[in-house]
Structure 1
Amino acid sequence: MSPSPSDRARPGPPRFAVVGNPGNRRVSLFAEAVRGAGLPAPRVVPWREVLDGRYGFAPGEVVRLDSPGEDAEVDRLLRGADDPARVEGTAVWYRRFTRAAAGVAAAARGAGARLLDDPAELAVLFDKRRCHAVLEAAGVPVPGALGGAPVSGWQDLAGRLRERRLRRAFVKPAHGSSASGVMALEYAGPGRVVATTSVETGPGGALFNSLRVRRVEGEERVGALVDALAPDGLHVERWLPKASQDGRRADLRVVVVAGRATHAVVRTSRHPMTNLHLGGARGDLDAARRAVEAAGGSWAGALAVAERAAACFPGTLCVGVDLLPATGWRRFAVGEVNAFGDLLPRLTGLPGSGAEGLDTYAAQVAAVIGKEHHLCSTHPPRARSRA
């Protein structure tokens, strides 16, 4: 018996390809999620081959762009620095990465493959200044930021902080990630400045990432850091006082898959930066939800803020949104939207999200294959909230 036209048109299960570094934990976890869905392991296209132009895709492949991190040679090719711990070089990294991502998109389109990450959106996500502007224009609550001309150095920044009467600010490399080069700046006037940062100054003034957060005091020392980072581009925003949990500063990383907030974790720290690799610790999510509701806020409204931020990037399947709870847990702002913000091992989905029992990678696979956990079709978007 011949198959019906509808049977012939029915697509088979997707075949995944991942642009990533073999051995990268994110690539391994995604591959595990694909196999867990009963599909063949994804084909890994190494970033080295992409940067060398030695790659291609097959018709019908679903292509995931993953982080180019955790490979010293790839980092050297992207940043031109021999030491992966160096902070400088992010502007060069950005130009080369976005150019390579655009090339992947062109190759995927030419082969009839489907890309899960829009390279034009990645270019915005990896520029904190552009990302902040897109969010603000869409009405997403964000910390106030210094606009205008790029910050040229410490004297320029100090003058603009005085003009705005801004005593506390976060100074971030425009193209950085994982808090690399970030400074929580307290500026009380000429000569009275303190920066909390993980940046370490090496021989000759070179800057390196460190896993130890430290205080740098004095205008000369802090100014030298700003002067060294400014050529790569800086994003400067108001330092919002954050809520606390058990005496530690707290914020939320919310993973949004296919428009739906599926996973969330509380991050707590004694320092202004709550990144887990800098000594931050996972907090109590249930306690955070109770705190929001006790303050008269809405937990669903808080998640809706993260979804509104993700909605600014409809061509990107998954983003990690850093949600900043104001003191008292009643209101929220978006600190950052991360293209590769889904590395939360063993964390399963939020109740009612459609991703219950799934980790962040399994939720993405489910969204692509459209089975019982298809997040778009089974769960309408939440109503907008002014949380």
Structure 2
Amino acid sequence: MSHTTPLVVVGNPGNRRVGAFRTAAHAAGLRVRVLPWRELAAGEEVALPGGATVRIDSPGEDSEVDRLLRGAGRPLDHGEISGGAAWYAGLRTALGRLTAAARRAGATLLNDPADIAVLFDKRAGHRRLAAARVAQPAILDTVPGDWAQLRTALSDVGWARVFVKPVHGSSASGVLALHVHGRRVQAVTSVELAGDGRLFNSLRVRTYRTEREVASIVDRLAPDGLLVQRWFPKAGLLGRVVDVRVLVIAGEPGHVVGRSSDGPLTNLHLGNRRGDPAAVRAAFGPRRWAAALADCVRAARCFTGSLHVGVDLMIGSDWRRHAVAEVNAFGDLLPGVCDAAGRDSYAAQLHAIRTGRFAAWRTRAAMGRSA
């Protein structure tokens, strides 16, 4: 990509992600045109500059885009959790529209829409990682349609602790850390259960201890699809649960963010603290840490049409094992985190494009598939 190559980012104008990428691009002497997600989501005809390089950023944090992707249906209040399957269908339609526009313009997409579609389907993502032998927690083979089916399935396989995740969700939306022991039920989640039964995203993590409440939440989430993942006991440092986000850019894991929590949900937007990745590396040991990073790269190799992916890496409580919790299509918002060369996540991506490393990564992957 030269200074004269048109650079386009598909995103929400004014969003912090788009702003951070534009800052990095301007520092590299590149000008960026923003193609609003609203145009794609609304079904408008979009055109890209000939030969453009196109980055696809998250459609999140915009209520109008969210509404357009969901299409017709009951209007949702701010923060309400509902209609994940409809949102996913709208996302795939919009990505198809973008793919067609890129083909007409001879543009290069830095994120493969097919990769994004898999990454927003947690069951499909799990299958792809499993085929590549990436270490990850087991999941229920059956897809529970409601709380009663989930309870029965857990009893059948003998799992007492699991993570229940909306199959098309992100950012811990709708996720429950569930413990079922006999008649006792406990769910730790950021879901707020309203008096009328509706569910809302909240920045406050809460614990539900009655089966009636937990059943109500699961019954609301289940129609849009669930992934039930066996609990992986995570390591602790200084009395807090820790895991890490590893950003893999063109096959290189150069940015690592530690996450530290009092409970099972470590997402930073829920008020948790950044952990010290150096302390995690030291406690895990160089050999095991290298093996864990190699698994992160193996996970990224499942999505070689994408310049970057964010891998959520869990270290076992015994400090001997690791597992990939999931892979994120838009996991590169890591303010203040730089690689060994001092580049933030966006500058590092631009460097990988301009030096040809991304093209080489794609070529090696294609050769591997044809071998």
Same fold by TM-score greater than 0.5: yes
Match status 1:27 vs 2:18: yes
The aligned counterpart of 2:323 is 333
2:282 to 277, 282, 290: 290
Q: 1:203 Cα shift? A: 3.7
2:310 to 298, 305, 320: 320
Contact 1:260 1:375 in 2 (8 A): no
Contact 2:6 2:49 in 1 (8 A): no
| TM-score of the pair, normalised by structure 1 | 0.89
Match for 2:354: what amino acid?
I
The aligned counterpart of 1:244 is 236
The aligned counterpart of 1:96 is 90
Number of corresponding residues: 358
Match for 2:260: what amino acid?
T
Q: Indicate the SS of the match to 2:9.
A: strand
Separation in structure 1 between the aligned mates of residue 334 and residue 320 of structure 2, nearest angstrom: 25
The aligned counterpart of 2:367 is none
CA deviation map 1:11-64 (0-9, x unaligned): 664321011100111111111111111112x10001111123142101111011
Separation in structure 1 between the aligned mates of residue 334 and residue 126 of structure 2, nearest angstrom: 24
Separation in structure 2 between the aligned mates of residue 262 and residue 377 of structure 1, nearest angstrom: 17
Q: 1:261 Cα shift? A: 0.7
The aligned counterpart of 1:167 is 160
The aligned counterpart of 2:221 is 229
Match status 1:308 vs 2:302: no
Contact 1:305 1:332 in 2 (8 A): no
Gaps of 5+ in 2: 365-371
Match status 1:39 vs 2:30: yes
Separation in structure 1 between the aligned mates of residue 317 and residue 5 of structure 2, nearest angstrom: 45
Distance 1:11 1:278, change over 3 A: closer
Gaps of 5+ in 1: 1-9, 382-387
Q: 1:329 Cα shift? A: 2.5
Q: Indicate the SS of the match to 1:222.
A: helix
Match status 1:180 vs 2:173: yes
Match for 1:196: what amino acid?
V
Separation in structure 2 between the aligned mates of residue 297 and residue 88 of structure 1, nearest angstrom: 43
Match for 1:193: what amino acid?
V
The aligned counterpart of 1:368 is 353
Contact 2:3 2:30 in 1 (8 A): no
Separation in structure 2 between the aligned mates of residue 35 and residue 335 of structure 1, nearest angstrom: 34
The aligned counterpart of 1:214 is 206
Q: Indicate the SS of the match to 1:204.
A: coil
Separation in structure 2 between the aligned mates of residue 377 and residue 78 of structure 1, nearest angstrom: 34
CA deviation map 1:314-356 (0-9, x unaligned): 101111000010013222110010000011111001x4xxxx2
Separation in structure 2 between the aligned mates of residue 173 and residue 90 of structure 1, nearest angstrom: 8
Match status 1:111 vs 2:105: yes
CA RMSD of aligned residues (A): 1.7
Q: 1:239 Cα shift? A: 0.7
Contact 1:78 1:96 in 2 (8 A): yes
CA deviation map 1:57-115 (0-9, x unaligned): 01111011111112111111123543240111111110001110121011111111111
Answer with 1 or 2: which has the greater Rg: 1
Distance 1:291 1:13, change over 3 A: farther
Q: Indicate the SS of the match to 1:209.
A: strand
Q: 1:367 Cα shift? A: 1.0
CA deviation map 1:134-167 (0-9, x unaligned): 101110001010013x211001000000001100
Q: Indicate the SS of the match to 1:205.
A: coil
Contact 1:16 1:63 in 2 (8 A): yes
Distance 1:376 1:346, change over 3 A: farther
Contact 2:241 2:263 in 1 (8 A): yes
